Amino acid sequence: MPDLSRRAALGAATGAALVAGVARASDAVAQGAPTAPLPMRGNEGADILGPRNLAREAQNPDIVSPPNTDAGTLPNLRFSFADSHQRIEPGGWARQVTARELPVSKSIAGVNMRLKSNVVRELHWHKEAEWSYMLAGRARITAVDADGNFFIDDVGPGDLWYFPSGIPHSIQGIGDEGCEFLLVFDSGDFSEDSTFLLTDWFAHTPKDVLAKNFALPASAFDNIPKKELYIFPAPAPGATVAADTPQGAGKVPESFSHRMLAQDPFRFPGGTVRITDSKVFKASKTIAAALVEVEPGGIRELHWHPNTDEWQYYIEGTGRMTVFASQSSARTFDFAAGDVGYVPFAQGHYIENTGSTTLRFLEMFRSDHYADISARQWLALTPHALVQAHLNLPAGAVEGFPTAKTVVIKG
């Protein structure tokens, strides 16, 4: 076939494939597949003629058709654990969102992990501090500090733990279903694959050295694992914490666990907030957190954080967030359960519940304390004539702003 004829045939085939793709997208919508927005606002924009990922677009309507208040070029501030590599191991799995998956996330990284009943995340330690929120099930955690003090506890949904950098620890799923949890590390460059593991260390230490260190014959180490175990089934732990506590072990001076849901929340007409930082969880020196619940139609008020970046994890419901980055730049993102959001230092934002159920998410900060600035409180405490000169609001509007923070506002 001459080159000209071949190119014409290929062009025709490509055109036919595009038409077929558009037809398939239209058919999918007609057959009940997720309906997705179009990049249109009134008479602006246009429909999409080429191939479409309808399910993806339906999850991100404010990316496809952003509010007309969005402008400029902000980096991506959203990544879903559903898009992360799943490391599957005997009895469990792990996946992570770090600066490699979400490049803007410089200060914090996150890991989502599942352990079946009796399965262990093996004895290990990290360069980074580890903070955790229990999502489901139960786990037994252990640690030893630099002074030889021992820690052990059983944790369940809504409980936290915090292990400072370098502190060796373990996690074991208990009960019928084991557990699932979120881990948060105080560096965006963290990698779950670079953990210091007991089995990996011993596999790379000469047996005669192990023998000298532990006062055992070298043959005692003939059957140690030849590579890391990482996540693996193990014998069931003792029936109680006391059964697994070494006799005569000293206790760590500050507990490495905390019952977040046992805290009395701050209640607002639109939802609740629980704040957990080193004031109430004394061991947690580098991670502060807030658990926020927003009722349908409500918003986590316009605010910013004056101390550090914000890393978010969405537990339940759906929402959207617009981030204002100065220089006339703003961008809106949509979130669902399992998603991670990020707000760079001091950038203004809100989070709105866009669903019909409670929106529940964690705000986390690389800091020993939680701090935020409320836009309503700021303006309420500023001379009203000055605020009015800026905003030209209706008469009396500024006087109605509350002087106390209303962290969650009713819709």
| Residues annotated catalytic, as ranges | 363
Q: Which residue has the tokens 């996946």?
A: 95
Tell me if 36 sits within 8 A of 52, measured CB to CB.
Answer: yes
Selection from 279, 334, 285 nearest residue 312 by Cα: 334
Tell me if 133 sits within 8 A of 209, measured CB to CB.
Answer: no
Tell me if 132 sits within 8 A of 160, measured CB to CB.
Answer: yes
Please give the C-alpha separations between residue 35 and each of 22, 45, 62, 146, 281, in angstroms, as whole numbers: 14, 18, 14, 56, 45
Helix (H) or strand (E) holding 160: strand 159-163
The values of phi and psi at residue 23, to 5°, are -60, -40
Which residues are registered as beta bridge partners of 154?
140
Which residues are registered as beta bridge partners of 373?
304
The rounded distance, in Å, linking the Cα atoms of 32 and 386 is 53
Helix (H) or strand (E) holding 348: strand 348-353
Cα of 381 vs its chain's centroid, Å: 34
Which residues are registered as beta bridge partners of 343?
310
The rounded distance, in Å, linking the Cα atoms of 39 and 394 is 34
330: how many CB neighbours lie within 10 A of its CB?
20
Residue 394 amino acid letter: P
